[in-house]
Amino acid sequence: MKKSLQNQNKKLSREAIIGLGESSVRKNYYSELQGKIIDLERVNSRNKAILNTIPDILLLSDKQGNFTPLTTRRKAYNPLIMALLESVPIHQQLNEAVSHTVKTHEMTSIMFDIYFEDALKHMEARVNSTDYGEYLIMIRDITKPKQLENKLRFMAERDNLTGLYNRAIFEKEILRLKSLEVSQVGIIMIDIDGLKMLNDTLGHLVGDEAIRIVAKQIDITFGNIGIPARLSGDEFGIILSGYSALQIEGLIQTMLKAIELINEKNTTLKISISSGYAVQEEQNDDIDFLMSVADNHMYQNKMFKSASVRSSLVNTLMKALQAKDFITEGHADRMTNIATLLGKKIKLSQNQIDRIQLLARFHDIGKVGIPDSILNKPGSLDSSEFMVMKTHTSIGRRIALESVDLKDIADLIYYHHERWDGAGYPEGLRELDIPIECRILSIVDTYDAMTNDRPYRKALSHEYALEEIVENAGKQFDPDLVKTFLKLMTV
């Protein structure tokens, strides 16, 4: 019986295996098996392609946090994977993420940084469970998106020129402080003195440089302890918490000394700032009131020193003119002497003589606002260059109006290129409508220009210069003044 059963099982097994050898059954079975093998190979090929295509790093982990790289032969060696696995802090963070997924059965995301190949990389890791007690970890390099995000945030929060916070962030912080019960809030207001004059005369590039210098010192002094912001073109604001009035005064003085050191090294650009501050005395003191007090203190500081600052700035501009235009060397002194002699010869008042002397020295101060390429161009200027050059009279007047010492000759600076025949600039004045000081300067300036070296020619003779001036009497020059000048210069 037992033997019979064994034979039957053997027969069934034989039929299960060999019996399939019937041609029709064998064909169906092999075809199905071959199809499944092809499908598996196709899936395997696709998986390899996916692994090779995905830029992310893939790790497998068990519940104990043992990591295994999930790679193809093509991606078997990855230095970044080794760096990640060798980093103890990163290993710990990944372990914690896996533990969290084990407990919650939900995907866990973490972010971390790693220094790799001398660069800081920002990474994001996502952990998810599989159906076989394993945990898939996908690690993505998000450095470029993170840098773009930081750049966009910087653009939204920071002033483009200085890198300080912008007005919107400053006002946002003020609103935040209003909503909190904070004490000993300090507000500092800072303004650059004479920035408009710098922009109008030396140009906006020089003005921007002054802004950057001041902003840098503000950031060095207050950047790590407060909220420094650029509020407008020349105005800055700083918000501090927990600092007394005495401490704030000390910080401001430290910043002022730093700017003084910069001024000592820079011969052509002198920077002056005005400042004011207010500190919250009581917890319920209004923040807007503090800003108003700080602003008022700043303007008091500015008014107190405005005249001396403007005078200093004018002297700085004169030094800048001397530095950029070598033809002015000795030019002002020679003109002052000759113009004074001519003024006395025609019996002008001492007040007029004083104005002529100032005019001789400062008539070309507006040239600080003219590009060097035009100012020192060898040869004649083209029409567009000449239009730029002509603006130096209006620039000069603006500078003079900012100085107590030069205010009286502001209009004389403006008119010093007018001609007797009305063909001059900027207003085309004629004959006696041109101030006498300007008519004298016109003759003296022309004579000195001809008898001294210029970038485009050597000095002309004294005799030739006098002949040219006589030739242009009644055209460019006052004919009566030419006669007097001729007598003066031929003695």
Q: For 36-54, write each residue's pLDDT tens digit.
A: 777 777 777 676 666 666 7
Q: Are 225 and 203 in contact (CB under 8 A)?
A: no
The per-residue pLDDT for 14 is: 45
Do 37 and 63 fall into the same domain? Answer: no
Does some domain include residue 298?
A: yes
pLDDT for res 277: 93
Token pair listed for 385:
């260059």
CATH number of the domain bearing residue 174: 3.30.70.270
Burial track 156-188 (b if 16+ CB lie within 10 A, e otherwise) = eebbeebebbbeebbeebbeebeeeeeebbbbb
Which CATH number is 83's domain given?
3.30.450.20
How many angstroms separate the CA atoms of 169 and 175, rounded? 10
b (16+ CB within 10 A) / e for 333-350: eebbebbbebbeeeebee
Q: Is residue 286 located within the same domain as residue 407?
A: no
Last residue of a domain, one of 139, 157, 175: 157
| 440 is a domain residue | yes
For residue 357, the domain's CATH number is 1.10.3210.10
Domain identity same for 258 and 133 = no
Q: What is the 3-state secondary structure (H, E, C) of the chain?
A: CHHHHHHHHHHHHHHHHCHHHCHHHHHHHHHHHHHHHHHHHHHHHHHHHHHHHCCCEEEEECCCCCEEECCCHHHCCCHHHHHHHHCHHHHHHHHHHHHHHHHHCCCEEEEEEEEECCEEEEEEEEEEECCCCCEEEEEEECHHHHHHHHHHHHHHHECCCCCCECHHHHHHHHHHHHHCCCCCEEEEEEEECCHHHHHHHCCHHHHHHHHHHHHHHHHHHHCCCEEEEECCCCEEEEEEECCCHHHHHHHHHHHHHHHHHHHHHCCCCCCCEEEEEEECCCCCCCHHHHHHHHHHHHHHHHHHHHHHHHHHHHHHHHHHHHHHCHHHCCHHHHHHHHHHHHHHHCCCCHHHHHHHHHHHHHCCHHHHHCCHHHHCCCCCCCHHHHHHHHCHHHHHHHHHHCCCCCHHHHHHHHHCCCCCCCCCCCCCCCHHHCCHHHHHHHHHHHHHHHCCCECCECCCCHHHHHHHHHHCECCCECHHHHHHHHHHHCC
Same domain, 105 and 212: no
Mark whether 84 and 167 lie in a shared domain.
Answer: no
Query: What is the model's pLDDT at position 326?
Result: 46
Closest CA to 212 of 286, 170, 173, 160: 160
Residues 340 and 474 in one domain: yes
Write out the residue range of the structural domain in which residue 450 sits.
325-489
167 near 233, Cβ under 8 Å? no
Query: Looking at the domain assignment, is residue 320 inside a domain?
Result: no
| Confidence at residue 413, expressed as pLDDT on a 0 to 100 scale | 94
Place of tokens 């060999």: 18
CA distance 60 to 134: 7
Q: Which residues pair with 69 in a beta bridge?
A: 59
Name the β-bridge partners of 188.
Answer: 238, 277
Give me the pLDDT at residue 491, please: 64
pTM of the model: 0.61
Q: Do 166 and 270 sit in the same domain of this protein?
A: yes
The label of the residue with tokens 């076989």 reads 132
Beta bridge partners of 116: 119
Sequence-separated (6 or more) residues with CB below 8 Å from residue 151: none
The reply to whether 204 and 61 lie within a common domain is: no
The answer to whether residues 463 and 351 belong to one domain is yes
Instruction: Tell whether 170 and 187 lie within a shared domain.
Output: yes
Whether the CB-CB separation of 304 and 323 falls below 8 Å is answered with no
Is 379 domain-assigned? yes
pLDDT reported for residue 263:
87
- Cα–Cα distance, 446 to 420 (Å, whole number): 14
Residue 477 lies in a domain: yes
Tokens 């300090």 correspond to 186
Write down the pLDDT at residue 306.
Answer: 63
Q: Are 95 and 241 part of one and the same domain?
A: no
The per-residue pLDDT for 237 is: 96
Does 318 fall in a domain?
no
pLDDT digits (tens, 9 = 90+) for 207-263: 899 999 999 999 999 999 999 999 998 999 999 988 999 999 999 999 999 999 998
Phi, psi angles (nearest 5°) of residue 370: -100, 135
Residues in the chain where the model's pLDDT stays below 50: 1-2, 5, 10-22, 24-25, 326-327
pLDDT of residue 414: 94
- 11 in a structural domain: no
On whether residue 15 sits in a domain, the answer given is no
Residue pair 272/316 in contact (Cβ under 8 Å)? The answer is: no
Residues in the chain: 491
Domain count, the chain: 4
Cα radius of gyration (the chain) = 42
Contact 308, 405 (CB under 8 A): no
Whether residues 24 and 110 share a domain: the answer is no
